[in-house]
Amino acid sequence: MEALMAIVVGVLYASALYMMLRRSIVKLVIGLILLSNAANLLIFTAGGLRSGVPPLVPDGLSQPLGLIADPLTQALILTAIVISFGVLAFAVVLIHRAYEVVKQDDMDMMKDTDR
């Protein structure tokens, strides 16, 4: 299962880089979305793919019983989701404003405008 997830992460990174190198500004945003999802899956896969119970310690014991899920990767993925949402929201607003000013979706047309 981890080999399949590694292939999926690689495909997501490759398609994100491809989309970000396109001339369309909308494809740049799609590439950012794919890049953030690939980073989340990479962290999730690096933490190990195993199912387990929540890491709760019963009363009177010093550690949880049995196989537990890793809370560190869950916290890192949650943080990465929040950061990627903030970056995506900023990029969408910036792109919308640039499109209002230039009236073009092409990145090559945008670099020649000085207003």
Domain harbouring 90, CATH code:
1.10.287
Closest to 42 in 3D by CA, of 81, 83, 77, 16: 77
Burial track 49-76 (b if 16+ CB lie within 10 A, e otherwise): eeeeeeeeeeeeeeeeeeeeeeeebeeb
- Percent of the chain whose pLDDT exceeds 90: 42
Q: In the structure, what pLDDT confidence band is assigned to residue 48 with cuts at 50, 70 and 90?
A: confident
- Give pLDDT, residue 25: 87
Domain range for 102 is 2-50+70-110
- Give pLDDT, residue 115: 55
Convert the pLDDT of each residue in 55-90 to its tens digit.
788 888 888 877 777 788 889 899 999 999 999 999
Whether residue 87 is contained in a domain is answered as yes
Total residues found in the chain within this entry = 115
One-letter amino acid identity for 31?
A: G
Whether residue 62 is contained in a domain is answered as no
Domain count, the chain: 1
Whether residue 57 is contained in a domain is answered as no
Whether residue 61 is contained in a domain is answered as no
